[in-house]
Amino acid sequence: MKQGKKHPRLKPPPLWHCPRCGAKLVTRDMWHSCGNYTIKDLFARSEPNVIRIFRTLAAMVRECGPVTIIPQKTRVVFQVRVRFLGCTPRRSYLLCNPRVHSQKAALQVPEGHDVCQALART
Ligand SMILES: [Zn+2]
């Protein structure tokens, strides 16, 4: 290969759509919480500050680029191509599990943003 020649960019295959719930998944028949859930129902048993923290987090993630936010049975997930962050609402706090080890799921926080400081102000 010639020096300086770019590698052809491989276009990822299209996402598979679950016929029952419409979920968009990287592979066919990938396990997921199949169903239609709402943010309102998911946070129904949480104190009001928990959904405020979630909304602040969601707004900060959206500032990084387009993202799909998917409420599931027990958590809400953030997806670009893959799901890279799951948040489970508890009564008085929001339990977040980022999947930052995935290169496909790299999340770039804009310069000057500090998630922890922003959430502490919520
Ligand atoms: Zn489904």
Q: How do residues 28-58 score in pLDDT, each as one tens digit?
A: 888 887 888 999 999 999 999 999 999 999 9
Q: Cα of 5 to ligand 1 centre, how many Å?
A: 42
Q: Cα of 116 to ligand 1 centre, how many Å?
A: 33
Asked if residues 79 and 68 have their Cβ atoms less than 8 Å apart, the reply is yes
- Angstrom distances, CA of residue 56 to CA of 16, 91, 97, 113: 30, 17, 16, 12
pLDDT over 50 at 109, yes or no: no
Q: Cα of 18 to ligand 1 centre, how many Å?
A: 5
Average pLDDT across the chain, whole number: 80
SS3 of 16, please?
Answer: strand
- What's the rounded Cα separation, in Å, for the pair 71 and 47? 18
Q: Cα of 109 to ligand 1 centre, how many Å?
A: 30
Q: Cα 21–81–10 angle (5° rounding)?
A: 130
- What's the rounded Cα separation, in Å, for the pair 1 and 54? 48
pTM above 0.75, yes or no: no
pLDDT over 80 at 7, yes or no: no
Q: List phi, psi (to 5°) of 5.
A: -80, 130
Query: How much of the chain exceeds pLDDT 90, in percent?
Result: 49
Q: Cα of 70 to ligand 1 centre, how many Å?
A: 12
Name which of 93, 1, 75 is nearest 85 in CA terms. 75
Q: Cα of 7 to ligand 1 centre, how many Å?
A: 36
Mean pLDDT of 92-112: 62
Q: Cα of 12 to ligand 1 centre, how many Å?
A: 21
Q: Cα of 87 to ligand 1 centre, how many Å?
A: 19
Asked if residues 46 and 91 have their Cβ atoms less than 8 Å apart, the reply is yes
